[in-house]
Amino acid sequence: MSMILAAIDGTPASRSVVGTARAVGQALHLDVQALHVGRGPGEAAEYAEELGLPLVVVRGRPDVRIVEAGERPDVELVVLSLHGLPGRNEPGSTARAVATRLTKPVLVVPPEAPIRESPSRVLIPLDGTHGVSAAVRPLIARYVAAGAEVIAVHVFGPDTVPMFLDGMPDEVAWRDEFLWQHGADLGIRLETRPGPTVLALLDVAAAEDVDVIALGWRQNLAPDRAVVVREILERARRPVALIPLGATQGGSGTAVQGP
């Protein structure tokens, strides 16, 4: 059976990782297993036992062993914490290494974020170019099948705001056409906001109190890339799913890689 892998390090942040992984597993009907990379279980065992998760302990370099375990065919999602970093809530070395190398979705959990026991709302950006990408569809479809609400957000730039978006009937026609082209088959709801992108996404995330922000990205954390991903991770205060788009998904409507 498919499962979620919760990578824990034995620090208090492990409680958020384990709790989030278990809640998502229950919502999506997936088993959950905890993984600790170290010489022994240590305090990691306490956090796994607290929520009744089986724990596997392996030795080696954390990022290498997490990626290795995450690439198993039965693993659909890896959950890990965002902490112990150069600056507050910036993705640290292990989180960066896993997220940029793993071919599966990674759910990054801020250590101070409350555990959401019944995740039921997911936010996903759509830029209107190609709709929901093939890479992002499986996770979104799983949430929809589990009864969750998926909220798509389209952010208008200064040069992309339609002239008729003033409450007139044409706005309804535009929204219906946009959804039909970019993901109506998934049963998603559309929200529109003016830019900038990060502020717009955070505004909807807070207003709708979403449980997960799902971002398709190209796994490039070079200094001039992934600006939106970096800012969302730093400021979202809720779990963020980073979903690799791969080389064939470079033009996807859910990619938020650019500066």
What is the domain-level CATH number for residue 35? 3.40.50.620
Q: How confident is the model at residue 104 (pLDDT cuts 50, 70, 90)?
A: very high
Is the model's pLDDT at 5 over the cut of 70? yes
This prediction has a pTM of 0.86
Does residue 188 sit in helix, strand or coil?
coil
8 A C-beta contact, residue 169 and residue 157 = no
Residue 222 burial by Cβ neighbours in a 10 Å radius (0-12, 13-18, 19+):
exposed
* Residue 87 shares a structural domain with residue 50: yes
pLDDT of residue 210: 96
Domain termination site, one of 78, 109, 140: 109
Residue 255: inside a domain: no
* Residue 187 shares a structural domain with residue 217: yes
Q: Which phi and psi (to 5°) does residue 128 adopt?
A: 85, 10
The percentage of residues in the chain with a pLDDT greater than 90, rounded to a whole number, is 45
- Return the DSSP state at 85: -
CA atoms within 13 A of residue 256's CA, in its CB half-sphere: 28
Q: How confident is the model at residue 170 (pLDDT cuts 50, 70, 90)?
A: low
Say which residue, 91 or 49, is predicted with more confidence.
49
Rama region for 147: left / alpha / beta (φ>0; ψ in -120 to 50; rest): left
Is the model's pLDDT at 246 over the cut of 60? yes
pLDDT digit string, tens, across residues 122-160: 999 987 665 556 777 888 888 888 899 999 898 887 665
pLDDT digit string, tens, across residues 194-245: 889 999 999 999 999 999 999 989 898 887 888 899 899 889 899 999 999 8
Domain termination site, one of 75, 109, 143: 109
Mean pLDDT of the chain: 83
Tokens, residue 191: 């929200």
* DSSP H or E segment with residue 202: helix 197-208
* Residue 242 shares a structural domain with residue 130: yes
Residue 115: inside a domain: no
Residue 116: inside a domain: no
Domain termination site, one of 89, 109, 129: 109
Q: How far, in Å, CA of 92 to CA of 11, rounded? A: 15
Residue 184: inside a domain: yes
Residue 53 burial by Cβ neighbours in a 10 Å radius (0-12, 13-18, 19+):
buried
* Residue 98 shares a structural domain with residue 189: no
Question: How many other CB atoms are found less than 10 A from the CB of residue 216?
Answer: 28
pLDDT digit string, tens, across residues 107-131: 999 887 788 888 899 999 987 665 5
* Residue 241 shares a structural domain with residue 127: yes
Q: Give how many domains the chain has, as a whole number.
A: 2
Its domain, for residue 46, covers 3-109
Residue 14: inside a domain: yes
The residues with which 49 forms a beta bridge, in sequence order, are none
* Residue 227 shares a structural domain with residue 201: yes
| Cis peptide preceding 239, ω within 30 of 0 | no
